[in-house]
A and B are shown apart, each in its own frame.
Chain A
């Protein structure tokens, strides 16, 4: 049995934040879940994927976040309890559907988990998703701990059902990827079948309907506000004259800092967990008893602006601080010292900091940048593209493991903003610069956001090449399936879609598929494409080596070694291919047999054919 299905209320279990969210959903009777993976949200979907194999919970990896939200919305319209989970930038993709779903509302329940990533541990920006609450009018809940993530998720379903609105559960990386002790709650039965009751004049958002639905949404927002006013998620601790208003992980830092500073009796904390609609009256009452207030929140001054608004409306002269020099920044994530320092500065308190040992004279640790793995097919494709198009071409790229191709010596990646934007921007680069343009996109990203820009490029007669780096999985986030992936080895009946057929179906006339580990054939295909005018697609297909080793029938290939007698020490292998299985010893390249996957790329690039496969007896053959 999956550990999250354990029906032992009150049992204490150590859980990852994302597991706690999935557990909360299971306890609340979630019947239908969908997601597109994205760090730091991915482990939520992983739990549902596993659980769906042995229970009647429906789960799917959808092609993108918008589809995940929409498929969950459809099920929620039939009265089910549903969840869609995604990372913060995924909500940008889903937002078009979300804005008007707020007008129709839902018949059952829909909880949308959005995981923000302050400091951008693994993201392209650190946008603050709380503004989506304001933009859409939907309620937002923000847990401060892993234990609370479970409790709040259960509540989010009830709230959604009561208001007939989607509810946003907003987390940050330090919740998703933290672990804590969770007390299990009781399990509610899953209701997996529902019915859709037609009501087109409330559900079909033509202008005349929406004009009527918008005021209904505004009423629901006010109902939600009255709930936020008395919500136990917005709680006050302490009775001092100095106020600190905080949310999410900043609550833990504030709470610890106040104790460490030694003036606990002078403070009172307002922890906001139900942050949209903002509980204005409750905040005003909190402000009334304060001499001075500090707002501690990562990201944008979302609460700070709301708190200032409350003070203004109530005519309170209290000093309110938050973002600003010497206090909090809008950048990156908080840590205990940063929060303690800001509180001490704001309230003019003496602060005793931890005293780190001096480290200035310690030698610097060598950088350990992430890199494409040994045997990664993306490296092979990049080496071939560089050989044919060199530095002259422009290389818009996309989001996935292959983004790491921007590092030297591959240097494949000139522009990166969003999923699918490699193909989208390519037409602009090609037309405006007149330079050869080669856009990279992964297989999962192709299905996520690559189809419409490809159609648009064909129709508008653009001239560029798309290289689809097809490793047969969603690599970066942990090997989730996408619409091109066959899952019959897991006894899952999916209908994989051919990328070639998709490209041809969208009108691309020049489509070539290669195995990038067949180096010469790949270079030849690229040379053919170099002379082609119009939109061309090269599909470079070979499995992700990490994914492949978990597939049935996988046999490890014998590794390669450098034949020292024939090696001319040109170092094309280490300077051009730069696979992490290489190391340099006595100024000559060597191969770590433990790390070599036997992909044979370097052997084809070596000018002396000095890189050879180790024989079955373990010798150079």
Chain B
């Protein structure tokens, strides 16, 4: 099987690491080789959190510029920041809801024109799926379920070969019991949103 390289970017606190873990566990359950690397320095302190997930053959656990098959962005300015990982064949799945850094909140930096930037990027990649992830997460029952919405969108995009049911089994097993129903609902909403957008 060809290697599938998935780059996940988020802001600290959005649950990127757990999403990557569920994605990885799902791939292991599907009998695939998995290599992941995470960069979570100072995540709790408002920084950027990156995960790289590589499925299938190969040995490295890192994604070079222009080498991502999927860019999964939990926050639109982070999707823009990581755009250099994309090539003409990349599937970009992004949340459209801005989480301004405090530099912007305090007026020291400017938040970019996100819709415009996403449109520019959309014209250069294979597929762009843009969803309002926090809105879907709240509809599922908790803002904290953004990560499961994004995972659902990934499953719905068809960019990975694992069946949605397999994801759901891992979500039930690996995420906190009291949030399982919300997480599964969020996953489903994300999946449907991606299917309707793609």
Contact = CB atoms under 8 A, between A and B. Distances in A.
Contact of A372 (B35, B45, B66): B45
B37 interface: yes
B67 A174 contact: no
B138 to A, nearest CB: 13
B66 A357 contact: yes
Interface string A396-409: 00000100100000
Given A179-B24, A180-B36, A367-B103, A174 B45 contact: no
Interface string B6-45: 0000010000000001001100100001111111111011
Interface string A561-584: 000000000000010001010111
Contacts of B61: 145, 174, 178, 180, 249, 252
A48 to B, nearest CB: 21
A345 interface: no
B21 A179 contact: yes
B25 A14 contact: yes
B70 to A, nearest CB: 14
A9 to B, nearest CB: 17
A256 B59 contact: yes
Nearest to B111: A366
B124 interface: yes
Interface in A270-303: none
Measured as residues with beta carbon below 8 angstroms from the partner, the interface class of chain B is 35 or more
Contact of B86 (A340, A356, A404, A592): A356
Given A177-B40, A358-B124, A366 B110 contact: yes
Contacts of A12: 28
A371 B11 CA distance: 13
B47 interface: yes
Contacts of A177: 37-40
Given A252-B60, A369-B103, A584-B107, A179 B35 contact: yes
A323 B70 CA distance: 33
A578 B106 contact: yes
A356 B85 contact: yes
Interface of A is mostly: loop
B95 to A, nearest CB: 14
Interface string A342-364: 00000000000111111101111
B59 A255 contact: yes
A525 interface: no
A121 B66 contact: no
A363 B59 contact: no
Contacts of B81: 365
A585 B6 CA distance: 36
Contacts of A340: 64
A506 interface: no
Given A122-B42, A583-B100, A354 B109 contact: no
Most buried by B among A359, A582, A592: A359
Contact of B38 (A178, A367, A476, A592): A178
A122 B41 contact: yes
A368 interface: yes
B163 interface: no
A584 B125 CA distance: 35
A445 interface: no
A370 B12 CA distance: 10
A145 B109 CA distance: 40
Nearest to A368: B101
A368 to B, nearest CB: 4
A357 B105 contact: no
A359 B84 contact: yes
Given A180-B36, A354-B87, A370 B45 contact: yes
Given A357-B84, A366-B104, 11 more contacts: A178-B37, A179-B24, A179-B36, A249-B61, A354-B65, A356-B65, A357-B121, A361-B120, A368-B46, A369-B101, A582-B105
18 contacts: A174-B62, A181-B28, A252-B59, A353-B66, A355-B66, A356-B66, A356-B86, A358-B124, A362-B121, A363-B113, A368-B78, A368-B101, A369-B103, A373-B44, A580-B46, A580-B102, A583-B100, A587-B107
